[in-house]
């Protein structure tokens, strides 16, 4: 069976060795030394000023919206994981969807201005598959209309844009370290910011709003544990090797697939990529379903990611986003993980190409 992703697990002994430090101290959560060390190493690896390790990427988004005092309308993308929209709703704000671009599937920054109202307080955009949003244009609009900017950087770990980590843009960027992501701590996430003031606020939010016996603000339990931090410390030194393998597989897909009857998202920006996903776009949903089942027959799992377009969620008032709806019906993520082999990629590509050929004959 080939899954769409496979969690990278380090050699058990290496993990146990780091974990032993927590055991020896009998300190397993509440800002222990492994959490502090992981935060330090992540700041260095990503070259970001402030970073807090959180329990997951969704709580990170919720804390970010709260810290920026956003209570009304948030302009956001319909093409993301449901956590992006749900965090807006969870904070009792209103998501206003702006359609996406045809090339990188990120929010179309040129369409944002038309959706700004007197109630707009922020923009929450996703760096889709790790491709950068138009951060320059979004920054200009934020200045012009006095809006806060949050980037959902769940896919953007290790991506650089203009010589900077993609996670260093916006008022706050969030990341997810879930087991399915390129860098993981089993469950986990982070809030990242260049502002010391925001960081202090988030630091309090993350642990109930108090420091010792002093109570300063509202808060939530957004902490993470020493066991999770140990996984991150174990994997981080291996990440450049992991990304290197993924790059090789990514290029194999590029080389073997035939892009006359299908396409894939790409970024026009000059940036360093982390090769986190390999999505392909078919001409119709019918072709996608056919290709997907042909792969499933050979025990190859794919994922409709992202599907559905979030503007069509059944618990929301419908807002029209034609491009996102069309792409989400036709896009399929192919298997991509560190230990996938070149032969397996060849097999996947052959099944897809055969299916496309037979489809044209049927038509
Ligand atoms: C994974 C993901 C999240 C949620 O992160 P968790 O750590 O699972 O809570 C949010 N947004 C995007 C785009 C994601 O891919």
Reported as a single tens digit per residue, the pLDDT across 103-161 is 999 999 999 999 999 999 999 999 999 999 999 999 999 999 999 999 999 999 999 99
Residue 337, domain member (yes or no): yes
Is the predicted pLDDT of residue 361 greater than 60, yes or no?
no
In a domain, residue 4? The reply is no
Distance 106 CA to ligand 1 centre (A): 16
Contact 265, 103 (CB under 8 A): yes
Task: State the pLDDT confidence band at 342, using cuts at 50, 70 and 90.
Answer: very high
User: What pLDDT score was predicted for residue 359?
Assistant: 74
Q: Determine the pLDDT at residue 307.
A: 97
Whether residues 16 and 154 fall in one domain: yes
Residue 303 lies in a domain: yes
Domain total for the chain? 2
What's the predicted TM-score (pTM) here? 0.97
Is residue 3 in some structural domain?
Answer: no
Read off the CATH number of the domain in which 272 is found: 3.90.1150.10
Same domain, 59 and 164: yes
Has residue 80 been placed in a domain? yes
Residue ending a domain, among 237, 271, 294, is 237
Mean pLDDT of the chain: 97
Task: Say if residues 91 and 85 touch (Cβ distance below 8 Å).
Answer: no
Give the end of a domain, one of 237, 266, 301. 237
- Which residue in the block uniquely carries the two structure tokens 């560190």? 338
Alpha helices in 222-341 (DSSP H): 226-235, 239-256, 285-297, 322-330
Looking at 184, 213, 237, the residue that finishes a domain is: 237
Q: Are residues 56 and 200 in the same domain?
A: yes
Compute the average pLDDT of residues 90-99: 98
Whether 184 and 318 share a structural domain = no
Question: Do residue 253 and residue 194 come from a single domain?
Answer: no
Cα(60) to ligand 1 centroid in Å equals: 10
Do residue 45 and residue 151 come from a single domain? yes
- Pair (225, 242) in one structural domain: no
- 2 assigned to some structural domain: no
Share of the chain above pLDDT 70, in %: 99
**Claim to verify: residue 216 and residue 301 sit in the same structural domain:** no
| 322 and 189 in a common domain | no
In three-state secondary structure terms, 353 is helix
Please report the pLDDT score of residue 358 as a whole number: 86
* Ligand 1 center from residue 176 Cα (angstroms): 5
Q: Are strands 73-76 and 94-97 parallel, antiparallel or unpaired?
A: parallel
- Say if residue 330 is in the same domain as residue 221: no
Q: What is the mean pLDDT of residues 90-113?
A: 98
Atom of ligand 1 nearest to the CA of 126: 13
Distance CA(252)–CA(220), nearest Å, equals: 45
Q: Are residues 156 and 32 in the same domain?
A: yes
Our mutation pick for probing the ligand 1 site, out of 77, 79, 152, 277, counting the most ligand atoms within 8 A of Cβ, is 152
Q: How far is the CA of 57 from the centre of ligand 1 (A)?
A: 5
Checking if the pLDDT of 363 tops 60, the result is no
Quote the domain boundaries for residue 292: 238-362
Confidence of residue 298 (pLDDT cuts 50, 70, 90): very high
- Model confidence at 22, pLDDT cuts 50, 70, 90, reads very high
Give the pLDDT of residue 69.
Answer: 98
Mark whether 70 and 134 lie in a shared domain.
Answer: yes
Residues 157-190 pLDDT 10s: 999 999 999 999 999 999 999 999 999 999 999 9
Whole-number pLDDT of residue 270: 87
């Amino acid at each position: 069976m080939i899954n769409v992703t496979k969690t990278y697990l380090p050699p058990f002994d290496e993990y146990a060795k780091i974990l032993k430090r927590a055991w020896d101290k009998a300190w397993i959560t509440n800002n222990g030394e492994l959490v502090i060390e992981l935060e330090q190493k992540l700041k260095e690896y990503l070259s970001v000023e402030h970073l807090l390790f959180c329990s997951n990427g969704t709580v990170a988004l919720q804390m970010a919206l709260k810290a920026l005092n956003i209570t009304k309308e948030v302009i956001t993308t319909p093409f993301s994981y449901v956590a992006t929209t749900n965090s807006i709703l969870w904070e009792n704000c209103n998501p206003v969807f702006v359609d996406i671009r045809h090339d990188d599937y990120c929010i179309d920054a040129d369409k944002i201005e038309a959706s700004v109202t007197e109630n707009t307080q922020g923009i929450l955009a996703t760096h889709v598959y790790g491709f950068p949003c138009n951060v320059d244009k979004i920054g200009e609009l934020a200045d012009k209309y006095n809006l806060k900017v949050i980037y959902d950087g769940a896919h953007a770990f290790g991506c650089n844009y203009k010589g900077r980590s993609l996670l260093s843009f916006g008022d706050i960027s969030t990341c997810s370290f879930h087991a399915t992501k390129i860098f993981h701590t089993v469950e986990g996430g982070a809030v990242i910011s260049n502002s010391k003031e925001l960081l202090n606020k988030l630091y309090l939010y993350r642990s109930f709003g108090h420091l010792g016996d002093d109570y300063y603000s509202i808060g939530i339990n957004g902490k993470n544990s020493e066991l999770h931090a140990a996984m991150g410390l174990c994997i981080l030194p291996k990440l450049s090797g992991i990304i290197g393998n993924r790059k090789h597989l990514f290029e194999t897909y590029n080389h073997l697939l035939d892009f006359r009857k299908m396409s894939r998202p790409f970024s026009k920006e000059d940036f360093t990529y982390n090769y986190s996903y390999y999505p392909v776009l078919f001409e119709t949903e019918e072709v996608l379903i056919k290709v997907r089942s042909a792969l499933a027959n050979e025990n190859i799992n794919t994922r409709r990611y992202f599907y559905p377009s979030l503007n069509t969620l059944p618990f929301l008032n419908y807002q029209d986003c034609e491009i996102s709806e069309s792409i989400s019906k036709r896009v399929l993520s192919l298997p991509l993980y560190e230990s996938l082999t070149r032969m397996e990629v060849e097999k996947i590509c052959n099944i897809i190409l055969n299916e496309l050929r037979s489809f044209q004959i049927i038509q």
